[in-house]
Chain A
Amino acid sequence: MKGHLVAWLVGPTLLLLGLAIFLSPRLVSIPLAEPAVVLPSQIDPAPLRKPLSRPPTIRVAGYQKNCMDCHALFQSRTKTPFAMFQHREIQRAMDHGTNRRCYNCHDLKSRDKLVLDDGTLVGFDHAELVCAKCHGTTYRDWQRGAHGKTEGYWDASLGKPNRFICTQCHDPHAPAFGKFKPLPGPHTLRMEAIPRTPGHVGRGREKVNPLRTWSSSDGPHRGRANPPVGMAESGEKISSKVGQKPNQQAGQQTGEEKIHE
């Protein structure tokens, strides 16, 4: 009699378990996350600031003027700082610690040049010599390569390394780096190996059955330029791959903005 009792308990339990497994796609699901969206502009390796080979020009009354266009005519005040109406945007943004005297770096007479402590004039393309006046340890590190950026080639015999000078990363009037929004990091909900919705390269569904009733045949169209048409639910036989025009649109990946190259 005991054996019959055990049989009556075990059998239906297993049956219910089997039913649960078959019905679970409708009952149980785990969330997924959309693929991380990273625009090409966010991983653009161009320098933060443009290189300054010539002194910058300023827009006055609709014209682009060089420094000496005005400063050759007008004498400048020697005592700084004072209220300037032509370089107001620089004065407003000025954030260089205790270095607030314009003539520490700019020459009083030749405004299209920078000046060193002994009066030697240097061009804007050698601004690192000016920064070295006060930031000697950083300049020493820069010369060794420990500070700053060298892009392009590490092997000078195979290509030209591009060593950035100070002003190609730092704004000389407000040198401190601003803050960035960090790009997406690792996210377990984006690491799921999930079945694909047929004909859809993106995820196309928000949840997935954790018991995964999928196989390698789900979505031979994945990532492919020629997704087949007529694909039914995953799990059905794939009859043939129908050739289609390659779909190179940005719409291939869900949630992604148009890429402007």
Chain B
Amino acid sequence: MVGELGTKVDRRNFLREGMAVTGGLVAVSAALSPLAKLDPEDLPTAEQFLQKHYKEMSPEELQAALSRIAKEVEQRYDVKPNVQDYKPLEGVEFVYALNLSRCIGCRKCVHACVAENNQSREPEIQYIRVLEMPRGTLDPEQGDHHYDRPKVPDADHFYMPVQCHQCSNPPCVKVCPVEATWQEKDGIVVIDYDWCIGCRYCEAACPYWARRFNFADPEIPADKLNPDMAYLSNRPRPKGVVEKCHFCLQRTRQGKMPACLEVCPTGSRKFGNVLDPESEVSQILKTKRIFVLKEEAGTLPRFFYYFDERYPRSEQERDEAKHGEAEA
């Protein structure tokens, strides 16, 4: 027998072509098999899909988005949240200052931030990264991110917490292809989590390792959820978006201090409005020898570090002072 295209239709050819077609079908269905496991809850709803960019939403649309988020949070965590949108305060530009002579590297700020801002516990996300720096250098590349001593501070190191510096010339805002992140009037660089496409260009562009990506659906224990949420800051994020420190705008735009500052046991963190000449941060910028990280990158951060007149005393110096005075 001869087939239509001139090939011989015999058993061998039939079996061979049949196996090829079957193999192809099997391969295609295997490739499509994850669709069978698709959870309809993971698909966006119509209103979520059609939601506009934060800057383009009318007040009514924004309220609708806030109620949608509140409903989703209540459904998932069984906690009634208070989801608001806080606009920047007038005449305010935030500045953060940090006293490196006082930071002891306890990482309380890291976990207060995790608790306040509903960050994923697994996989773990921490906005603040405390670097253990060897004495004598201010280069953050020399810092150890993973120190874990039985007791801190260690005498031969000082500790430098790094988080988003809300730069005045932010590279992350420049590289975002969809303008999901931008800088607001009070200096905070914010992210619209419903607009972010998760390309992570911003994560690559940031010189301070400030940005974090949600590789998986964030896991937050329901009893640890902070119900006071804001659209641009600490509402639970979806999988596949980038997040970062936002100076706790759900607190600071109501005049409160950020969570990291509240918990710091040594008071090394300072926060305030730099446009107010009497504020703590203004006085620090005027009187202390402040510096910024990676100044050569030209990012103009609004996070300033300073030392007091001397480093924290080392163990040796303290012992000498003690023994010397006992002999006297």
Chain A: CB-nearest residue to B104: A180
Across-interface contacts of A253 in B (CB, < 8 A): 121, 221
Q: Is the CB of A158 within 8 A of B255?
A: yes
- Given known contacts A43-B263, A180-B265, A190-B124, A154 and B255 CB-to-CB distance under 8 angstroms: yes
B82 at interface, CB cutoff 8 A: no
Smallest Cβ-Cβ distance to A145: which chain B residue: B280
For chain B residues 220-261, which have a beta carbon within 8 Å of chain A? 220-223, 239, 252, 254-257, 259, 261
Chain B residues whose C-beta falls within 8 Å of the C-beta of A192 in the assembled complex:
123
Most chain B beta carbons < 10 A, residue from A43, A180, A218: A43
A154/B252 in contact, CB under 8 A: yes
Using Cβ atoms and an 8 Å threshold, which residues of chain A touch B261?
149, 151
Interface contact A145-B270, CB-CB below 8 Å = yes
Residues A182 and B76 in contact, CB atoms below 8 Å apart: no
Asked if A146 and B38 sit within 8 Å, CB to CB, the answer is no
Interface size of B as a range: 35 or more
Q: Tally inter-chain residue pairs, CB-CB below 8 A.
A: 213
B169 within 8 A of A: no
Complex Cα distance, B179 from A231, in Å, reads 40
Interface residues of A: mostly helix, strand, loop or mixed? loop
Contacts of A217 in B (CB 8 A): 37-39, 42
Interface contact B223-A250, CB-CB below 8 Å:
yes
Chain A: interface residue total (CB-CB under 8 A): 70
The chain A residue with its CB closest to the CB of B152 is: A182
Bound Cα distance from A151 to B266, whole angstroms: 12
| Distance in Å: Cβ of B69 to nearest Cβ of chain A | 15
Q: How far is the CA of A181 from the CA of B108 in the complex (A)?
A: 10
Among A153, A164, A225, A238, contact of B255 (Cβ-Cβ < 8 Å)? A153
Mask for A192-205, Cβ within 8 A of B = 1, else 0? 11100000011100
Closest 7 CB pairs of A and B: A145-B280, A158-B255, A149-B267, A193-B216, A155-B255, A225-B78, A179-B151
In the assembled complex, 24 residue pairs joining A and B whose CB atoms fall closer than 8 Å, in A order, are A35-B124, A42-B108, A42-B111, A45-B263, A95-B322, A97-B325, A137-B309, A144-B283, A145-B280, A146-B283, A146-B287, A152-B256, A152-B257, A153-B256, A154-B271, A155-B273, A169-B265, A180-B104, A183-B107, A191-B124, A201-B221, A217-B39, A224-B76, A259-B223
